[in-house]
Amino acid sequence: MKSIITGSGIGVPRNVVRNDALTRIMDTTDEWIRSRSGIEERRYADPGQGSAELGSIAAEAALKDARRKKEDIEAVIFATMTPNFFFPGNGPVIQAKMGFPETIPTFDIRQQCSGFLYGLDLADSLIRSGKYGRLLLIGADVHTPFMPWQMGWASTIGGERRELTPEEYAFNTSIRDRTVLFGDGAGAVVIESSENGERGFLAAKLFTDGSNIEALYVPGVGFRMRPYVDHEQLNRADPIPVMSGREVFKQAVSKMPDSVRAVCTAAGVSLSDIDLLLIHQANLRIVEGVGKALGFAADKVPHNIERYGNTTAGTLPILYHECVRDGRIKPGMLICFTALGSGLHWGAALYRT
Ligand code: ACO
């Protein structure tokens, strides 16, 4: 018995924010953002629209695509590092919002940019254990709440447009290395058990190394603090993620290729058997670097980061869905998913369509 993806869907906000909109509120340029990251635009959620809202749009679309009703789903896995509430997680939010019966469990997982990849392996394991036959897996993140919204950011989605004070402009510029990279978005898949041994997940290799958490983390708002959030943390901007961009870049272009090699060995296939490599969309240069390290031609390494930026747990399911929709993913193909993100967590999974 294997587990197979029977449907997919996405939920992306309506607000398209082009690089030019960011040049109005910080010292950056379209040229810098494009040449360093490949990003041309990203989408920002409306105020009040969280990862559960985008996730539920994606989930409804995935259920429709799989021709399944809510009653058919036996468990939900929600991967996000930006839940609607500190607790509970998005599981019960989505259960109530979408009207799933209370008889099913909802699992909340994080793993940041590797969240969807971890969710795939968890879903596959739960199905192959025989306990559940049909699951919904959602990967969604909203990064706009990290942005200092009071400092002129509303103008990016057509809200209040005013002259920023020099202090506001300087503050936005001080975090420009991170803010220009991220967008909001969600994707979802329905995963089911299948007796057709040809199709399905072949293997996954997942890794964790927490020896350098500070390479990419949120320094404030944590339960080692007393209290877990206070005015001093807010004044220091501790709730805004800190990133050592070069360090993360270096890790990404070596660890993702290593994990792809490792999962191929585990499954007894060679790199050349892979038809399409779906890489977490953090930076076009990382995507190209991983493809090159593995000797893959550009047409085997699809990307959409130019349109969405990094949507963290959303990137892989959005990319998967778009590749299915435009015919780049065809029946019988061998697909490899790979990701690396804060933790660090990283890994790869092989899937025969
Ligand atoms: N606009 C203009 N200039 C900028 C910007 C900006 N938005 N951001 C930084 N700069 C400046 C810096 O101030 C610095 O200037 P200085 O040299 O005068 O000090 C300079 O640009 C740095 O340039 P580079 O060193 O060439 O930048 P680099 O090539 O390292 O690219 C980047 C930076 C894009 C952040 C890259 O390192 C990267 O993508 N890293 C990985 C990010 C990532 O993958 N994150 C993980 C996923 S997130 C998750 O898991 C939640």
Backbone angles phi, psi at 194, to 5 degrees: -145, 140
Tens-place pLDDT, residues 339-353: 999 999 999 999 999
- Which residues are the active-site residues? 113, 280, 310
Q: Give nearest CA residue, ligand 1 atom 2.
A: 28
Tens-place pLDDT, residues 233-254: 999 999 999 999 999 999 999 9
Residue of 288, 277, 289 whose CA lies nearest to 337: 277
Other beta carbons within 10 angstroms of residue 54's beta carbon come to 28
Which structure tokens are listed for 145?
Answer: 């709440």
Residue of 90, 94, 50, 54 whose CA lies nearest to 70: 94
Q: How far is Cα 23 from Cα 81, in angstroms, rounded to an integer? A: 27
Given pLDDT bands bounded at 50, 70 and 90, which one contains residue 160?
A: confident
- CB distance 183 to ligand 1 below 6 Å: no
Residue 210 in 3-state DSSP? coil
Provide, rounded to the nearest whole percent, the portion of the chain with pLDDT above 90: 98
Per-residue pLDDT averaged across 64-79, rounded? 98
Q: How far is Cα 36 from Cα 206, in angstroms, rounded to an integer? A: 28
C-alpha 314 – ligand 1 centre gap (Å): 21
Answer yes or no: are the C-beta atoms of 311 and 185 closer than 8 Å. Answer: yes
C-alpha 133 – ligand 1 centre gap (Å): 44
Per-residue pLDDT averaged across 31-42, rounded? 98
Residue 159 has pLDDT above 90, yes or no: no
- CB distance 315 to ligand 1 below 6 Å: no
Residue 216 has pLDDT above 90, yes or no: yes
Bridge partner residues of 205 (DSSP):
348
Closest atom of ligand 1 to 282 CA is 44
Q: CA 289: distance to chain centroid?
A: 19
- CB distance 313 to ligand 1 below 6 Å: no
Answer yes or no: are the C-beta atoms of 22 and 28 closer than 8 Å. Answer: yes
C-alpha 205 – ligand 1 centre gap (Å): 29
Q: Give nearest CA residue, ligand 1 atom 11.
A: 177
Residue 313 has pLDDT above 90, yes or no: yes
Closest atom of ligand 1 to 114 CA is 50
- CB distance 56 to ligand 1 below 6 Å: no
Q: How far is Cα 56 from Cα 138, in angstroms, rounded to an integer? A: 8
C-alpha 94 – ligand 1 centre gap (Å): 35
Tens-place pLDDT, residues 90-138: 999 999 999 999 999 999 999 999 999 999 999 999 999 999 999 999 9
Pocket test for ligand 1, best of 23, 174, 177 (most atoms within 8 A of CB): 177
Given pLDDT bands bounded at 50, 70 and 90, which one contains residue 197?
A: confident
Q: How far is Cα 101 from Cα 333, in angstroms, rounded to an integer? A: 35
Closest atom of ligand 1 to 182 CA is 48
- The residue type at 109: I
> Angle at the Cα of 46 (from 25 to 177), degrees rounded to 5?
35
Which structure tokens are listed for 342?
Answer: 């804060």
Given pLDDT bands bounded at 50, 70 and 90, which one contains residue 196?
A: confident
Q: Give nearest CA residue, ligand 1 atom 35.
A: 245
Closest atom of ligand 1 to 37 CA is 34
- DSSP-assigned states of every residue in 269-308: --GGG-SEEEE--S-HHHHHHHHHHTT--GGGS---HHHH
**Mean pLDDT for the chain overall:** 97
* pLDDT of res. 93: 98
* pLDDT of res. 161: 84
- CB distance 282 to ligand 1 below 6 Å: yes
Single pTM value for the model: 0.97
Which structure tokens are listed for 87?
Answer: 């607790």
Token pair 């009653």: residue? 71
Tens-place pLDDT, residues 267-303: 999 999 999 999 999 999 999 999 999 999 999 999 9
Residue 213 in 3-state DSSP? helix
Q: Give nearest CA residue, ligand 1 atom 4.
A: 177
Helices (DSSP H) in the chain: which residue ranges? 19-23, 30-37, 51-65, 90-98, 115-128, 166-174, 176-179, 231-235, 245-267, 284-293, 305-308, 315-325
Closest atom of ligand 1 to 285 CA is 39
